[in-house]
Amino acid sequence: MPSFTDALRGYAHTILKRDGSRCRYCGLDGTQWPNWLYLSWDHLLPVGHPNRNNPDFIVAACRFCNEACNRTVWDVANKTPDQLVAQKKPHVLAKRAEYRSFWEQEVRGSRLGEQLRGKEDV
C-alpha cells in the first residue's frame, strides 16, 4: 500500500479506524460514502500540552464537530480521553443544534419556498 501524506489516508487513518470511522461527537458514519471525506482528527488537549500528540488523546471527529468549539478553553487537568470527549460533547451538540435551526429557516426553508414558487408557476 502506498504511503499517503494527507490526514484521511495517512496519519489520521489509524485514529479514525480505531474509532470505527465515526465522529465521537455526533456519530457521523464515515464508513458511508461520502461521509468519510468529512472526518478529521480532533486533538483533545491544547497546543503545548505534553500529551497533545499522544494518539490516545486524539479522536475521530467530523469537520464541523472538530471546529465547533475551537476557541473554547477546556479544563483538561487529570482527565481521560473519554472524560475530555464527554466534557466537550454537550457544547458541540448545542452548536450543531444552533446551526440546524439556522439551516431549517434559511436553507431548507428557502429551498422549500423556491420549490413551492416553482409549482405555482406551473
Q: Which positions touch Zn ion (CB under 5 A)?
A: 23, 25-26, 28, 62, 65
Q: Residue 69 CB, nearest distance to Zn ion (Å)?
A: 12
CA distance 61 to 105: 26
Residue with cell 439551516: 103
Q: In the complex with Zn ion, which residue's Cβ is closer, 25 or 41? A: 25
Distance of CA 108 to the CA centre of its chain: 21
Q: In the complex with Zn ion, which residue's Cβ is closer, 12 or 65? A: 65
3-state secondary structure 15-64: HHHHCCCECCCCCCECCCCCHHHHEEEEECCCCCCCCCCCHHHEEEEEHH
Q: In the complex with Zn ion, which residue's Cβ is closer, 16 or 23? A: 23
Q: Residue 55 CB, nearest distance to Zn ion (Å)?
A: 19
Q: In the complex with Zn ion, which residue's Cβ is closer, 99 or 112? A: 99
Q: Residue 25 CB, nearest distance to Zn ion (Å)?
A: 5
Encode 14-43: b = buried (16+ Cβ within 10 Å), e = exposed: ebbeebebbbbbbebebeeeeeeebbbbbb
Q: Residue 1 CB, nearest distance to Zn ion (Å)?
A: 27
